[in-house]
Structure formats: structure tokens, C-alpha cells
Amino acid sequence: MKIFNANQTRELDAYTISNEPISSIDLMERASHAFVRCFCDRFVNTRPVGVFCGKGNNGGDGLAIARMLSERSFDVQVFIIEYTTDESDDFKQNLIRLKTHLVPIFIKSSSDIPPIPESMVLIDALLGSGLSRPVSGLLGDIIAVLNTLPSKVISVDIASGLFTNKSNEDTDVIVQPDVTISFQLPKLAFMMPKNVPFVGEWHTVDIGLSPTRINETETPYFYTDKDAAEKLIRPRGKYAHKGTFGHALLMAGSYGKMGAALLAAKSCLRAGVGLLSMHIPECGYVIAQTAVPEAMVLTDQSQKYLSNLQDLEPYSAVGIGPGIGKEPATAEMVKALVKTVEVPLVMDADALNLLSENPELLSLLPTNTILTPHPREFERLAGKSKDEYERLELAITFAQKHQVIICLKGANTAVVLPNGQVHFNSTGNPGMATGGTGDVLTGIITGLLAQTYSPSEAAIMGVYQHGLAGDRAANKKGQSALIASDVVDCLGW
């Protein structure tokens, strides 16, 4: 699923209007019908509805939605905010259509808003995706009032006051909806963790924009949903054997951190790898042989940490980092690995921290090496950024400069490819914010690489399946009780 900026969305609307052909007002009617269908799936017509409308096309959507809900026997009140004398043509037409059904209330001051019952569902149709400056004046006052009300709030396309493609300031006034129903495609703003209060639960509805134009329009941003992820899965052949699915090497663990190695190993096996070898410090030998009997174990010459590089010739992929620590000898081993490895490589946790402390190694990373940092690890690698949009741009620049793949972990984990594409993930939940889940991701991606999935496929599908397993685990255990082992246990596709 593609993610377009505001200009591309306007162009897509215009193309559809011109080439379907369909009038602008009829396209608005179609979009409003799609919104109403989604709305009616959530709310019954015994609850009153209040629709707050601006005077642009988003307000026009709101007027059409109000009329359609009224036709479905909802008790609807319409509030038109008199913040300007300018009205879009589609707003004017829908206002004429509305007046045969409902009499709107015109709001000239926030004090004009009548008492709103808690049971009333409020629809935010004040401002759309074309917003170019922070909201102020009467609209700002109205939004401030809406955010104090206990009622459910549903935003049309995007929350009023939220920028589509850039960061808002902390002082900006933005509607805080419970649900956003977006037309056709998600917005880039939905992918930013900082915007969670201004997006809520979001859905997209198909409004019939030109599929030809959607396919032709280029964008660096994509959203990995179930359909996109499942297309990457390769069916297993009837006569396949363990040698068919690769041999992975996981370099992980140190004294007191063997759990990280075990989590990565178990998840690598669950990802479908044919053979797995673990390179661990000697202190973890009995632990690994007991806890992961399916894996072969190679012990380091050091008792407590990794220090010597194994012969890499037998392996089809290497993963390094979970729990390895930052001993000087370990750092030297990481340097040797980066300089000699010829198979796909995944680097996580302390391997990333050692890269940060030895930046000269960045230029030596093999093309398409996969780095899986959380935001703080990425900051140490690439430098600070003032907001999430700037951090994303920094990740794109970093990936292109060093020709690596970055899995920037968090809500909607962003997989940034060397060609500048960004694939945001659709799975996962806050219960996964617990120690060890990153080690699980490293194991999954390493296992997929060993099976000869391309690095981009392994990163995108690995992140998706990691989040999907987390969602299954949360359904079983609850988010608060979820631990990394639960994610491993719920892997499968």
C-alpha cells in the first residue's frame, strides 16, 4: 500500500475526476458514502451525532456525511464554524443539499457550542490534508473545546490541525480523535509515534480513486499490510530438505546475557532456517545445548565473551549482536567480521554500539547489511534529530550513503532501503516494549536471509512477522504480561 503526500493526493483526485470521468461533487459523495459505511460499522443509530464542519472540502465531506447519516435515521446536529467567508464550491453545493434534511447551527464563538451530551459521537470535518500552517483563531478555540469533551471523536481523512507530511510544534492545536477514517490510503503522519494522540485508531476506506494512477505515481513510502507481507512468503517444495533452507550463524551472548542468544536462536529456527549454529562464549555452552537442542553450538576461546571469528565459509547468513557486550576483544572480532563476511549480515544491539564507537567501519559494511537499531541506537549511529520526520530523513540519507538496510524499531517500524524506499510496518503492539523482543527480530531476519530471501524481503517480512507474533502473544497473554519468549512461541506463517 502506497503512502502519498498531500500534493500527490490532490493530483490523484484531479486525475480521477478528469479521467473516470466524475465530477468533484460526485467524488465527494462517493467518499462520504465510504466514510458512512465505516462509521455505521462502529456506531448504531441510537447515538446522537454532532458534525463539526469547516468551509473547505473537508467541511463539504462533513455536510454530505451528516445528510447521509440523517437518511439512516441518526439524530444529527451540524455545526458550521464561521472562521472565514471563503467557501469551497463543493461545500456550497453540499450545504444546499443539507438544508432539505437538517438546519445547521452556525458557530461564531466557542461559547456558541451548545451542551454536548457524552453519548454524542462527534465528527471532525474542520480541516483536511491541505493544511499549511498551524491552526489559530476561532478554529483553534473550537478544537480546544472538542479536546475537552468526553464524547467519542471521529476525524474525516485526517485530524484537523495535523500536518500530513511534516512535524507539528508541541504548541499546535490539533484534534485528538479516537478514530481517523482516511480516504483511499494512509497518511505519512499516521506512521509517526509522536502523532498517536492525533490519529487514534485509523482505517482507510476505498473511494474509487484511479488504480492506474495510484500504480503510476511514484513514492518512497509504503505500508506493509497483510496482503503485501503474504506475497513475500515462499511455499515449501515437497522434496525440500534441511539443506534447502540454509545454514545460519548467530554470534550472540556474553556472561549474564545468554538469554539474548537463546531468544535469537529460537526465533531463527522458528523463521524456518534449515540449520543453525550458535557462536557463543564458553560459559553458555551447557545453557545453549539444553535450551536450544535444535542448534549446533560453537564455543569461543573466551569464557565470558566473544573474541575470535569463526570460519564463515559454511554459512549462508550471519547475525550478530544480541547480548555480546563491548569488550575490546569483541570489538576487534566485529571489525574482522565486517571486513571479511561475504554472506548477508544482520547487526543488532551491541554490534551496533560498537559500530557507533568505530565509525570507520561503516564504509566497510557489505552492501545490504541489515541494521536493526531502536531510536537511541540509531541516534548513536547517525546523530541527533529534532523530530521524527527529521530522524526518518536522516535514516534515508544514512541508508543511501552506506548502502545498508535500516529497521528503525518502534511503533510502525520503518524498514529503510538503500534505494530510499521506506516500508512502514502494520503489526505489533505496546506489549512488545520489553527486553528481548529485539533479539527475537534479529533471529527472524537472520533465518530468512539464510533461506535466500533477499535482504529487503527478509527485513520487510521479518519485521511484519515479528509484529504479528507479538499481536498473537498479546491476544493470549495481554500486553502488560507479554514477554519476548511469548513472541517466539507465537511465530509461524
* Three-state SS annotation for the chain: CEECCHHHHHHHHHHHHHHCCCCHHHHHHHHHHHHHHHHHHHCCCCCCEEEEECCCHHHHHHHHHHHHHHHCCCCEEEEEECCCCCCCHHHHHHHHHHCCCCCCEEECCHHHCCCCCCCCEEEEECCCCCCCCCCCHHHHHHHHHHCCCCCCEEEECCCCCCCCCCCCCCCCCCCCCCEEEEECCCCHHHHCHHHHHHCCEEEEECCCCCHHHHHHCCCCEEEECHHHHHCCCCCCCCCCCHHHHCEEEEECCCCCCHHHHHHHHHHHHHCCCCEEEEEECHHHHHHHHHHCCCCEEEECCCCCCCCCCCCCCCCCEEEECCCCCCCHHHHHHHHHHHHHCCCCEEECCHHHHHHHHCHHHHHHCCCCCEECCCHHHHHHHHCCCCCHHHHHHHHHHHHHHHCCEEEECCCCCEEECCCCCEEEECCCCHHHCCCCHHHHHHHHHHHHHHCCCCHHHHHHHHHHHHHHHHHHHHHHHCCCCCCHHHHHHCCCC
Same domain, 340 and 361: yes
Same domain, 185 and 267: no
Same domain, 163 and 291: no
Domain-located, residue 418: yes
pLDDT at 51: 98
Same domain, 455 and 368: yes
Domain-located, residue 223: no
Same domain, 233 and 213: no
Structural domain including 77 reads 2-217
The CATH code of the domain that includes 104 is: 3.40.50.10260
Domain-located, residue 481: yes
Residues lower than pLDDT 70 in the chain: none
Domain-located, residue 458: yes
Same domain, 10 and 96: yes
pLDDT at 493: 85
pLDDT at 138: 98
Answer whether 0.75 is exceeded by the pTM: yes
Domain-located, residue 224: no
Same domain, 184 and 269: no
Same domain, 201 and 249: no
Structural domains counted in the chain: 2
Same domain, 211 and 267: no
Domain-located, residue 209: yes
pLDDT at 426: 98
The CATH code of the domain that includes 434 is: 3.40.1190.20
